[in-house]
A and B are shown apart, each in its own frame.
Chain A
């Protein structure tokens, strides 16, 4: 049975629900077929802009190092200035990306779309190469994930695997077929990183039956993929010649290498039953929690197999599963979700978030998010942020949430709304008896709001 509060917590960024929010399962699903309004309202970085900017900045950095001891002071100064300017531009693109990410989630009436984006972003995690390039992971999200939320999984998998952010992050851009033209010249070799993670994290899952030889053959199949100033490139000079045999099938031939065999492999693996099981298990546990998710997952896997990995069909099965509407909130809102939900409860609009000055945005949202354990720019590894509640709700994690809850809301919204209103907006019927008892007993509105955002029922979803 559709329950707006359950929908808001489980499939969105919490209450309050805006006027135009879906009122039924069917409306939730129909919203996914609408144009991506949030991506249009709050634009993100694009590879087309970012890749050349990064290449230019790298060149400027090299020029600065090269000329810093040269006698030509004017040349050295110009190089250093250009490097500084390009670094600033890059840093700005990072802040812009973070603002757009949060603004979209704060503003959207269609929480399911945004939450699906965040789920897949975590599934295809990449990490910014450094603090100046924090926008890079978001280019993958906007270019490879957002357009394919309701497509066959093969499309999203292909777009994510071939995306320059992924190719750089998992070292594919350094991998060279040992017998390729470049490999035999330089004695450089294969890098198995992307091949291994593609099997272990993106598709079949660890221990699902592939062998080291599959990893190695896949790594050979993927050679040729690399990146350049324009983004993804296919360099036949790096491609290992001949056919490769992965998971019992042969890809490629002695013909000149191209992307064809790689695409064919991705299409095959996207529909394998191991992939269906592993990915739907993750999806169901993410949205429903371990208990209900484990119960719902087998149905989703069946739909995946039956539809060749059609993500619209799989999400429909998730939303229509009876387990999706059974009470429970085992998962923890990750720090970014926590902040978005708090902003919504405080009545902030997406536009207000997007318009924040860089300084306040860093101090009030981005740095706290990092201190709560989730730095913008990506998780520490390709396996993304964990779902494990104990990872997030540690003494340190709890302290940073409580500190934010008591110190920041009054600086985000002036005057701070009445605590009773905040409680109703944030939690609706979910407010516990303990919280309802405690809120009026706080010494100040600031502390009362702190209690609301620190309460377990606000932090679980």
Chain B
């Protein structure tokens, strides 16, 4: 199901809007003044639909793997320590060998209740410590992170391809879909400017829209091909890279298509290819220097059942896998303890047992990249999280 609508979320309640009707206007002017986040970049990709972690990173060292999923445990691309990468990600092992790729296995949000995509994604993006949606927490964890740095320009953070709950909240963020273009003639552009001129809110929104459209250049051929999902992923990554080369430091977007209840081997090909291309395009688009200061985190609402179902697919589970990439990473390894696949090891005797809270890895990435105070993370960004000892995600 797709409840992640194009522009969902909320910014402020009506009552607070009443108090400050026009103060949250997004402006370019604000970007040049005030605080910045430094030079590090963070890209968060929400893999919607529940990625099958055991198919992404196949723990072939575990003898139970082929017993549970005879059709989904074949050879992929060999990494090390008995892990194989999904064969659709054949271009990524190069990053692994450069220590620019890592995984967190058996990780999950605290959500245990009903394995609903919607609730699972809400919890993942809200970053709450509960296994039910915490309705007191109405903003996303990335927004709460931004709130810890008052005075940041709105271009610091971009939700790309539609608003995301992860980014919503009082801290200003930008939203844009690279597929969206305001292709209007120069004369209409002038008239639009003229008509909006005396209303600051409309003037800024219109000017920014026209500027962004100009920045994007002409429509690429690839984008015109209907249904070309990989091209769309590339456009998204290119847009993100372009923003991150400029004033932006944080970008977030979604990649859907992971809900592989049937014929998974075929169904997972397209999203895997998209994920692969997104990561590669981010790397080339950012250039070596910025890539060296970047972490990409691809996280999902929950994992999938250990046993394949009767349709060659997998049903909703619990423990999943996060993918990390970027030159700032101390990669080439798999983080998090392996819980095992014997029936007694499983959660509910069916799902991979989570051995870490996915928020922990995001917390350490934020701390390593931006030096944010641990106390602020544990009280504000991820309330109630205990960060424990530094897992050493980033290069020193």
Query: Is A bound to B?
Result: yes
- Which residues of A in the span 59-108 have a Cβ within 8 Å of any Cβ on B? 68-69
Instruction: Write the nearest CB–CB distance from A75 to chain B, whole angstroms.
Output: 15
Is the CB of A36 closer than 8 A to any CB of chain B? Answer: no
User: Which of B24, B174, B182 lies at the interface centre, i.e. has the most chain A CB atoms within 10 A of its CB?
Assistant: B182
Residue in B closest to A371 when the chains form the complex, CB atoms: B6
> In the complex, are the beta carbons of B3 and A438 less than 8 A apart?
no
> In the complex, are the beta carbons of A443 and B188 less than 8 A apart?
yes
Is the CB of A442 closer than 8 A to any CB of chain B? Answer: yes
Residue in B closest to A452 when the chains form the complex, CB atoms: B195
Is the CB of A237 closer than 8 A to any CB of chain B? Answer: no
> In the complex, are the beta carbons of A459 and B176 less than 8 A apart?
no
> In the complex, are the beta carbons of A390 and B11 less than 8 A apart?
yes
> In the complex, are the beta carbons of B138 and A381 less than 8 A apart?
yes
Instruction: Write the nearest CB–CB distance from A291 to chain B, whole angstroms.
Output: 7
Is the CB of B36 closer than 8 A to any CB of chain A? Answer: no
Is the CB of B266 closer than 8 A to any CB of chain A? Answer: no
Is the CB of B209 closer than 8 A to any CB of chain A? Answer: yes
The answer for the CA separation of A248 and B294 in the assembled complex, in Å, is 55
Contacting residues, chain A, for B213 (C-beta < 8 A): 399
Instruction: Write the nearest CB–CB distance from B122 to chain A, whole angstroms.
Output: 9
- Which residues of A in the span 270-306 have a Cβ within 8 Å of any Cβ on B? 278, 281-282, 285-286, 289-291, 293-294
The answer for the CA separation of A205 and B213 in the assembled complex, in Å, is 41
Q: Which of A193, A384, A451 contacts B192 (CB 8 A)?
A: A451
- Which residues of A in the span 394-435 have a Cβ within 8 Å of any Cβ on B? 394-400, 402-403, 406, 432, 434-435
Contacting residues, chain B, for A371 (C-beta < 8 A): 6-7
- Which residues of B in the span 1-51 have a Cβ within 8 Å of any Cβ on A? 1-3, 5-15, 17-19, 21-22, 24-26
Number of interface residues of A (CB under 8 A): 70
Q: Which of A395, A437, A442 contacts B188 (CB 8 A)?
A: A442
Is the CB of A56 closer than 8 A to any CB of chain B? Answer: no
- Which residues of A in the span 349-392 have a Cβ within 8 Å of any Cβ on B? 370-375, 379-391
> In the complex, are the beta carbons of B195 and A370 less than 8 A apart?
no
Residue in A closest to B114 when the chains form the complex, CB atoms: A174
With contacts A131-B2, A282-B14, A380-B10 known, is A390 near B22, CB below 8 A?
yes
> In the complex, are the beta carbons of A395 and B12 less than 8 A apart?
no
Contacting residues, chain A, for B198 (C-beta < 8 A): 432, 434, 456
Contacting residues, chain B, for A387 (C-beta < 8 A): 14, 17-18
Residue in B closest to A70 when the chains form the complex, CB atoms: B310
Instruction: Write the nearest CB–CB distance from B19 to chain A, whole angstroms.
Output: 7
Contacting residues, chain A, for B188 (C-beta < 8 A): 406, 442-443, 447, 450-451
With contacts A399-B180, A434-B198 known, is A383 near B10, CB below 8 A?
yes
**15 contacting pairs across A/B (C-beta < 8 A):** A196-B136, A281-B15, A375-B8, A381-B10, A388-B17, A389-B22, A395-B175, A395-B176, A402-B184, A402-B192, A434-B195, A438-B191, A451-B191, A456-B198, A456-B201
Residues in chain A within 8 A of chain B (CB atoms): 68-69, 127-128, 130-131, 171, 191, 193, 196-197, 205-206, 278, 281-282, 285-286, 289-291, 293-294, 330, 370-375, 379-391, 393-400, 402-403, 406, 432, 434-435, 437-438, 441-443, 447, 450-451, 454-456, 459-460
